[in-house]
Amino acid sequence: MRNYQKKKGNPYLLPHNLYMRTLYIIKDYDRMRDEYQNILHGSPPPNIITGKDIHGNEVGEFGGRGSGTSNPAQDKALNLAMVSDELHAVEQAIRMIPEEYRQGVFQNIRYGTPYPEVAHYNTWRNWKRKFIWGVAQRLHFI
């Protein structure tokens, strides 16, 4: 029951699917951060060589019919915006947790590491709940 939510007396209770969705966004933080950097500093995809087949249809590199409406800059901007929104939601939510609990809560969610023994388990669990709720709220899930 690693991802258990207390059902009674929990003001931060989320529907199960929403809770899991938010958890996996937090767990995916490192990959999203790398993807963000790759999108920012990456080069555009190579141009597809097009031509005409024997019937006069446009044919791309993989033999499909091309409409010629691809816009790599727009696709890059949309991907950057989506990844950026998720990264900022996680980063803003972690800032609402006191400094001494941030690292422990963040590491526990992302890697499953045990909480440090500087505070009671219930304290860690409460901050974890607030953090997950904050991410869901900033992503407009609730």
pLDDT for 107 = 94
8 Å CB contact between 135 and 26: yes
List pLDDT tens digits, range 106-118.
999 999 899 999 8
Q: What is the pTM of this model?
A: 0.75
Phi-psi region of 120 (alpha: psi -120 to 50; beta: other; left: phi over 0): beta
pLDDT for 65 = 55
| Segments making up each domain of the chain, as ranges | 16-138
pLDDT for 27 = 94
Burial of 136 (0-12, 13-18, 19+ CB in 10 A): buried
Task: Give the residue, 37 or 71, on which the prediction is more confident.
Answer: 37
Q: How confident is the model at residue 1 (pLDDT cuts 50, 70, 90)?
A: very low
